[in-house]
Homo-oligomer: A and B are copies of this chain.
């Protein structure tokens, strides 16, 4: 039997009861697979790795070693939430690595989008490898938040930012408890495991994080402006009840300045570009017709609260011709 193929008679997990049954089954399966050995997991804070972490903590507790790499390109409050939920609430065996300086130093002056992605991806492997070596002797398994669309899409459209690429002398047996599930099922499991709503309903977030939204060569001041503007956008969308209704929304800040006037003096600052899209399959995407009052509120808040931003634009570009991300 191909363990990477979802059985045709497998019921879609849509209710707490079905979720509970799946969790019970996987807890047993993981315990049988792992025994008293240890499991390593790269915990990004995204939906998939968070659900896998919570599931494994339920199954094997502190035999799971979670490594959270903060590459300095996380959204506002995300790394803090990972620590709070997993270390403080779930008593996880969590290794928190503040690698922001390493990543930002490597990225200095690099403006080509693909070069940026490669640097971030390669450095992520390097940091994770270092942590894996520290515990390598005691660890036998590598857990991953692989989900079923990752398997379906893995014939080459786009390299996913999962932890592959570890060196040959550091290979583990894989543990992928949600690999046959669709995204919506993973969220139902997350709810059942008691993860916070904001974590379970989190929008897809690219592996390179804010690094591909701080357009062109990343600087710390522009990255900080982006993080603050993005946080305001997410807060106002949540207040307006759009969380989970608009598929994806975020801010990008280009390496380009425009004129404005602040307190009567000429300002020469960055524009913040709001990107929001709805999609069924992520292959095509439409721009939602947002309420003008909401757009106005977000614009006012960003202009008033974020140093370095003197313009706010709404991206009207459907996919195609635009991609969802700006780079």
Report which A residues bind B (CB closer than 8 A): 113, 215-216, 254-256, 258-262, 267, 271, 273-274, 289, 292, 295-296, 299, 303, 310-323, 325-327
Contact = CB atoms under 8 A, between A and B. Distances in A.
A103 to B, nearest CB: 21
A161 to B, nearest CB: 17
A311 B315 CA distance: 7
A267 to B, nearest CB: 7
Given A256-B216, A261-B323, A323-B261, A310 B303 contact: no
Contacts of A274: 316
Given A256-B255, A259-B113, A317 B321 contact: no
A323 B259 contact: yes
Contacts of A292: 289
B316 A259 contact: no
Report whether over half of chain A's contact residues are helix, strand or loop; otherwise say mixed.
mixed
Contacts of A254: 254, 256, 258
A316 B289 contact: no
A63 to B, nearest CB: 42
A313 B262 contact: no
Contact of A261 (B255, B260, B267, B321): B321
A303 B326 CA distance: 15
Contacts of A258: 215, 254, 322, 326-327
A317 B256 contact: no
A258 B271 CA distance: 14
B303 A311 contact: no
A312 B316 contact: yes
Contact of A314 (B256, B316, B323): B316
A99 B254 CA distance: 34
